[in-house]
Amino acid sequence: METKDVVIVGAGPAGLSAAIFTSLDGWDTLVLEGDWVGGQAAIAYTVMNYPGFPPGDGEILIENLKNQVTSPPPKGTGAEIRQEKVIKIDAENKIVTTDANQYKAKVITIATGSRMQKLGVPGEEEFAGKGVSYYAKLDYQKFQGKIVMAVGGGNSTAKSALLANTTAEKVFLIHRRDSMRAYPPMIKRLAKEGVEVWYNTELKEIKGDESVRGAVLFDDQTNQEKEVSLDWIIISVGTEPDIELAKEAGLDFDGCFVKVDDSKMTSKKGIFACGEITGCVNHLVTCASDGADAGMAASEYLALEKIKRGETFKGAVNGKYAEEYVKMLEG
């Protein structure tokens, strides 16, 4: 079993930012990612609200961040990212089990973020990956000649529909309310680019054979159901925190979020958490900041533990930190 100072679960903005701070302080840091590096940020369309990043594709921002995390100093911080899905966290013994390996860590930071919310309608699970998807950005190249329906009322849904419209034969959007939450310019763009919006319309069932062929929709105003033919459905109705691992690890919760103290430590000693699983505001900048806080706190914790064991700790900046900790312990 490999030993690491810090194992971070999840390579989204929170996990990667935490890695910057622990690896800069010299702790051997490993980030484990089950899907794609960057999490939700990697599939963001045009990120316009990240300081210092000119409006652009989330993928570009994440590529920069990944290089910053993994490149050896001075270009980066020299942490490692491995493509492994974590299947279990033993919080008491600080052992992380993945689909490929097991790691013994001194600190574990959980940054598993959020996953797309399911609608829970019949056919959704059966056709997942066969015409039902949650991220247009990953699938829109397959939409040539297809009729695509986007479900939801927010900016993500509108962006999904607009992206699908660049390749599909026809795109329409359904929303269960009588107005969309998406920004007005986005709604105008939908109209300008010929994406119909069907308000007061709910998806009730997804139908098909090998793949999606149609959907049963319910019109809230006429109280009538109708069946439409289509080839692809993009469900974009929000996200929910990805908390299974944290739950199984026996951590305390605050509602549906992992509970952390001011230093981002969970109810288990040496287990930190950051980003959307802790209820952080759903933005790149806030989750990155939360990850930075968790990274700094983990670094302090590791230093303090070393000093408590009577081991020498040189500290990140010429021993300055070590002196502070010793004083703190003496006080």
Ligand X SMILES: Cc1cc2nc3c(=O)[nH]c(=O)nc-3n(C[C@H](O)[C@H](O)[C@H](O)COP(=O)(O)OP(=O)(O)OC[C@H]3O[C@@H](n4cnc5c(N)ncnc54)[C@H](O)[C@@H]3O)c2cc1C
Residues contributing to the site for ligand X (CB under 6 A):
9-15, 32-35, 39-41, 43-44, 47, 49, 85-86, 111-114, 156, 242, 245, 275-276, 282-285, 287
In the DSSP assignment, the letter for residue 93 is: T
Question: Structure tokens of 258?
Answer: 């992992």
Q: To the nearest whole angstrom, how small is the minimum distance from the Cβ of residue 80 to ligand X?
A: 14
Burial class (CB in 10 A: 0-12, 13-18, 19+), 308: exposed
Residue with Cβ nearer ligand X (95 or 326): 95
Whole-angstrom Cα distance, residue 21 to residue 26? 9
Task: Write out the DSSP string of 155-180.
Answer: HHHHHHHHHHTTTBSEEEEE-SSSS-
Whole-angstrom Cα distance, residue 10 to residue 287? 12
Residue with Cβ nearer ligand X (41 or 174): 41
Three-point CA angle 171, 185, 166, nearest 5°: 30
Residue with Cβ nearer ligand X (24 or 32): 32
Q: To the nearest whole angstrom, how small is the minimum distance from the Cβ of residue 278 to ligand X?
A: 8
Residue with Cβ nearer ligand X (34 or 76): 34
Q: To the nearest whole angstrom, how small is the minimum distance from the Cβ of residue 44 to ligand X?
A: 3
Distances (CA, A) of 85 to 36, 99, 260: 10, 6, 23
3-state secondary structure of 139: helix
Residue with Cβ nearer ligand X (111 or 148): 111
Q: To the nearest whole angstrom, how small is the minimum distance from the Cβ of residue 95 to ligand X?
A: 15
Q: To the nearest whole angstrom, how small is the minimum distance from the Cβ of residue 51 to ligand X?
A: 10
Residue with Cβ nearer ligand X (104 or 283): 283
Strand partners, 128: 132
Which ranges in the chain belong to alpha helices (H)?
13-24, 58-70, 136-139, 155-164, 184-192, 244-248, 284-308, 320-330
Strand partners, 98: 86
3-state secondary structure of 292: helix
Q: To the nearest whole angstrom, how small is the minimum distance from the Cβ of residue 45 to ligand X?
A: 6
Residue with Cβ nearer ligand X (37 or 212): 37
Q: To the nearest whole angstrom, how small is the minimum distance from the Cβ of residue 43 to ligand X?
A: 5
Whole-angstrom Cα distance, residue 156 to residue 46? 11
Residue with Cβ nearer ligand X (214 or 276): 276
Whole-angstrom Cα distance, residue 78 to residue 10? 17
Q: To the nearest whole angstrom, how small is the minimum distance from the Cβ of residue 116 to ligand X?
A: 7
Q: To the nearest whole angstrom, how small is the minimum distance from the Cβ of residue 81 to ligand X?
A: 10
Residue with Cβ nearer ligand X (187 or 307): 187
Pairing of strands 56-57, 46-47: antiparallel
